Structure 1
Amino acid sequence: MLGLLPFCPFAAAIALTLHYLTSPPCSVFFLGGSVEFPNLSFSSELADSTSPQFRLQVQALNHYFTELHASSPWSSYYLRSGITAFSEGVEGLNVFYWSKFSAPDNVAMEIQRSSPERLQRRLPGTNKVVRDSRNEQNYYMEQDDDLLHLLGLDPDDFESEEKSDKNKNPNSIQSGKWQLGFQVMSFDLYAKYGNNRTLSLVSPKKPYYQWRLRVPSGHVVRLVILTLHGATPGSCTAHKLSAYDFLLPLQNKIIARWCGLPISGSSPVMKLTSSGNVMLVTFSFSRQRDGAIFKAYFQAIPKAGCGGSISSWNGSISSPYYPSYYPPNIDCTWTLRVPLPGYLISMTIVTMDIQDSPSSDGCEKDWLDIGGVKLCNPVSDSNKKRVYSSPLSLHFHSDESLTHKGFYLLYRAFSPEGTCPRQFRCGDGRCIPLRKVCDGVKDCSDGRDEAKCSTCQPGEVLCGNGQCKPQGSQCVTQSVCADSSEEGTCGGKCYHVCPNKVCLPKSSVCDGILDCKDRSDELNCTRSYLKGCSSSSYKCANGKCVSKSNPECDGVKDCYDGSDELRCGCGTRPRKRTKIVGGTDAVAGSWPWQVSLQMDRYGHVCGATLVSNRWLISAAHCFQDSDAIKYSDARAWRAYMGMRVMTTGSHGAAIRLIRRILLHPQYDQFTSDYDIALLELSAPVFFNDLVQPVCIPASSHTFTTGTSCYVTGWGVLMEDGELASRLQEASVKIINRNTCNKLYDDAVTPRMLCAGNLQGGVDACQGDSGGPLVCLERGKRWFLAGIVSWGEGCARLNRPGVYTQVVKFTDWIHQQTKGQV
């Protein structure tokens, strides 16, 4: 009983004498916490601890802590509290504070384990509950000198303190030895969305520094550490940089701690992300060592959701904000399904950096659960590829302390009997195109391609990719299904039906243009039926044909009416004087038709190409909605033209809103066929040295195999890397389609073009999508040959980039833009 005396220093003398040897000694400890007051609001003045507003707000909140601890079972052990900082809360004002206690060890353990709810007792003599606050949390504060110095307290504050001290200063918040500036220099910084704020430390004069970082509610803090010198190698005793997911230096809130070798250079030491809208950064160093240099910046980024349901043939899944460190206190769950039954999921682990210690066998703090198996340590090469059934559940968890770079996974669906990439495998081993699955025709001898197919509603027709379309779309010249499968019953209504079931009107037969893959629409045509030019001839405006290869805009008048040299104000580079993976920085004005398509919250997303003063061309897959983001909304996009450096703002770039997005009606997201989109600008753009349109090739234009062309963009510089800050350019060669199809198992359709280096090393990558592949022609003008579409990985051996072949869409472009392009 005497071990539970309300406080130790004033125990009765007799009891002290009788139980001296058995009475538990008292120890001093601190709790740190935060509480949000929805009836109060944050202002910039409250970020400054020396301001009158800060002091007034502290005095106004004194009663809260008095009532909080006076009404708890441990009130007799409570000594005093201090408020260290304020920040913007979810609904009001967030207050960060510490409380000091002195109690026997067994009582101290009980207090340390208590939750905020247990501390909030009814006020003495009333039925009123102290409940004018919410989102409260508190934590035990580890005993170390750094903690006390950073709070402005002396280490001797951990010595026993008589309860009478509390009576000497009834308004003890902000009193006593708690004085900022004692041995620590503090900075309070706030960053709005879109602004970077700098942190720097050169030739420090004090042993402790701290930066309290704040961003608006609904955002998180991203801290990018650029240089760090003066950290003691392999030791955290003298020099250390710490980042906390809180505005108090709590050990269990450390996101990262750096004590290793001094590092500087162009690439950041690390990128950290908070779970909320605050972060504390501290730096301590030995007085005997001078010249510590620390440089960083932080920014507000929108708080992103994670997880969701995914149905796709291939793609990637990564930890939140990858490749930045993931935030603490995260739980994400993904459910991954393949689009058609009978397929398995092949998962490749590209990056796995989660666990604190690679030597640890268990995954207790942070982990990724894939199909019921927890992973956290780096994975050996032999275990990086795994196979799962569909659907597959993934769950990522991080606790509230140390974080790491996270994980990056690539997945693809495949037939369980073998490899039929982008194809369906029959029971007899034969591969058939995906468009023939669920098209109503049994292409497999065992009929498995039609075995598990959903049926469409009355008045709808089932397309080959499993989608249902309105029946009224059948038997028209412009097919609505991506594979034209709905034209299969149109034989009686069409003038000619191709073997792949494309329905052609009479005007498309014997017109000199090949519409059927087997050329059947142009076979057995007598001279009297022959209209127009052959597919390899250029058609002049007056209907005459020119057999010369690529005559347009070459500086020579080949058409009698001169139409081959009209509309040639394109493809020039006025400023040209003399990452893309494996590429180099582009010179300003080198590629004046390059466009960056950006979204307000996410920055650069895709590339595009300027083809007239009102129109851009990009890839259709850039505008496919995800669970969280509506990419198809034209209002969400901005087009930046004439820009080279991504990190320095617009700097003279022409910026336009997007009026509308036109996707090709036959675009197939499963096969990437017809991967093209037109974007109409909200207002015309004016051409200058940095902004010029590229030339669109005629439908007869040929880009010869082996021709060296250029691909440009701001995409990632390596497969799991970061976006380039400067526009990258890389020279790639046109690759024969038959050769490319052998490498990609016949996944390259006639509307696709391959370019790259079969040895690898040079390629487009994520973020380059929708951007241009351009080739220089005889007239010294640049023509748009392709649109960055897809590929397996980036710059891999025998995996060249696959582009949308623009010449296949020349007529569609002219039709949609009403001749403006």
Structure 2
Amino acid sequence: MDYMDSGLRYTPKSDKDWDNTIQFLPASDNKKLEKKKGPGTVGAVIGVVIFLAVIALMTGLLVWHFHFRKDVKLKRMYSGSMRITNQAFVDAYESSNSSEFKALATQVTSQLKSIYSKSPQLAKYYVGSTVQAFSEGSVIGYYLSEFQVPKGQEASVDSAMSSMDKLVDKEKRIRSRPSNSLVLEDVRSSALDTRLISTPFSRVLRFSEHTKPNKIGQIQSPGFPNSPYAPNTFIEWQLRADPGNVIKLDFDTMNLEEDCSNDFIKIYDSLVAIESSAMEEMCGYYSPSQPLTFLSSRNVMLVTMASNEEKNYPGFRAKISQVQRGSKDITCGGKLTGATGTFTSPNFPSYYPPQITCQWSIEVSPGYAVKVTFKKFLLSEPGMEDSRDCKKDYVQVNGKKLCGEKPDGTVTETSQTNTMSVEFFSDASYVDRGFSATYEAIDVKDPCPSQFQCENQRCIKTALQCDGWNDCGDMSDELKCTCKPQDISCKNGLCKPMFWKCDGVDDCGDLTDELNCGGCTSGQFTCKNNKCVSEKLQCDGTDNCGDGSDELNCGRGTNDAETVCSDLTYRCKNDKCISKVNPECDGEPDCTDGSDEENCDCGRSLFKTSRIVGGENTEEGEFPWQVSLHVKGSGHVCGASIISPKWLVTAAHCVQDDGRTRYSQPGTWEAYLGLHIQGNIGKTVVKRNLKQIIPHVNYNAYTYDNDIALMELDSPVTYSDYIRPICLPAPQHDFPAGSNVWITGWGATREGGFAAKVLQKADVRIINHTVCNTLMKGQITSRMLCAGVLTGGVDACQGDSGGPLSSPAGSRMFLAGVVSWGDGCARRDKPGIYTTVTKFRGWVKEKTGV
């Protein structure tokens, strides 16, 4: 069905489809046309006729091909709205079946035809219009218009449609207009989303809901939650509220296919799909803990949903209600006084409404200045992520416009006087989360007492200056520095932590930290064993390095019988080896027996990662393999990782007895799976006791070598959105220095207690083994790896012992390491040490079968 197949419309005769009417003549029977012996008049005439017929046929085909075939017409759909100022809204206009609706719709379609006739580009291609709905104010009409446009003329039609307001003015000036003509204002038009017309949906469903005061309604995808939504279907929900109210749409479930080009939900601040009124587009799976609440600018809203023919998911459910204008959710601005205070965009941390303007006037005591710090700043729209002119949504502080997405706390503005004006503006299309801000009165002469003032007016601790970290956000704390002896002194004047040396990443910006790393000269390849060979010898079928590293990633494919098995090559189940690095669970079967893609239901968070979660807090379900290990009666002590329904991986030092507690005994522990906030044991959390604990037999309590242990649960768990395993890497899996990994935990220490209630995360980077061993004075064995924090402050996430070091690979994460010793989340200048899981892959399989 077509998106236009409803409502009142004018339907012309369809054009001929030239491609389907081509017919070719059958081949001639050469024997029948064979020349008879001797000349014959009849035969000659027949030959001439056939010759001329062939010439005519060829000419006709050529004329058709070069003339008519060029005249390919494309269907173009435009949606729009108009305000009819000489009409008053009546309740009957809500129903498209009422006589009042049909009468006004006829007038609208007639007047649209008249308007389009004033444009040569539109008049000759116009097909017809459909009125979709009416709403209050005086009366607003929502319509769809169809055009059949010759290929190559689309831009001219788009341009003409973008000037609809001028055409309306032109139509108004006609003296012969009927006296009962509609008076139109605020005419808007935009091309319909091509996904709505490129696919002929097999089902088109439409629903209408009018909210009631103090009542919460509900909309959901058909069949939810008992069955997936239907394939190849388009659905729309027209939502209305009483005059003087706006629509509030609050999703409690959102679970669609990940790719928005296949299945999607789109919300409009309108009753028809006008792209200039689109508020948000969504697909994928969102955590229920993530706020997905939208407010309209007026008393109408449209929710659309489209699906393709395959991979259909559970769908969505949302609550709908009406909010009276002037209520707390949609009011903003005002006068702020006092030494400190806070303010936010409307509806924060959910989406602010479109078409809203807020004005705050901040005033502090005379002799002081106003300093505003944006703790959260999310004002980004599709296609405008890098925009600097802020033509769409923005915050304006004392005349300076700010927009886009900024790191937490890095946007700071200071006034010259004791007053400041802050304005927030959102246009008609696409909304975001908005901002939260604090203000304070500061001494103009000493704005950062006992601290360093950044060029962007941010204040940081003096100790953070010249430490290699961009604490200011604008690098001003790292300029004009004298480096400490233990730091890397970059040639450009920057100072960087020594553990970033030789990790394959240009931290200095001038490669200073990557010089003198024992690498090979230009034209040579550096082997894994640091041997240098000519680049010409790479992938020549010969092990020139001696460890096979010059024959990795040679692209010889799954049927390569030449790959020699080594410690660096991936071994398939059939004992054949492939040269591809890290082939397991990458979505491409590389082994001839497909074994590299077996057991790949792991390492994925099913939820979309939210941007709104602050600091280093994780989103609920973001790391579903994280386990909290509690000593019974004492609370959280260590972390662990799920690797199967019955088995966990943790650190051996977590299960060593001391004088007070028998940590080595299963009865001492209880494991909490799916936990996000300590002490908050909700329905998504599963508690299990332990059946057995297996520490590595060679664990060394003095050096922390072989610091790994296995725990078997007393009964298997059922996987859910919040409980899933992490992928175990193959013994040959490569985690190169410089690659980003995640460390997670609640910040517990072995002695008990916890530093954070909410599961924390930190983005860290794997550090070169040789450099780390130098930093740690020779304490690093071949079974350990090091990682350091890339971002965050001094107190960035102290992870749990036994917790995971999660390495992203595509859409999955692999267990690169187990938190062992040092600072779990690797404080500045002090890398964290982790047990290298690849070294124990055989041991894990031997003990668990995983």
Asked if TM exceeds 0.5, the reply is no
After TM superposition, the score normalised by the length of structure 2 is: 0.40
After TM superposition, the score normalised by the length of structure 1 is: 0.41
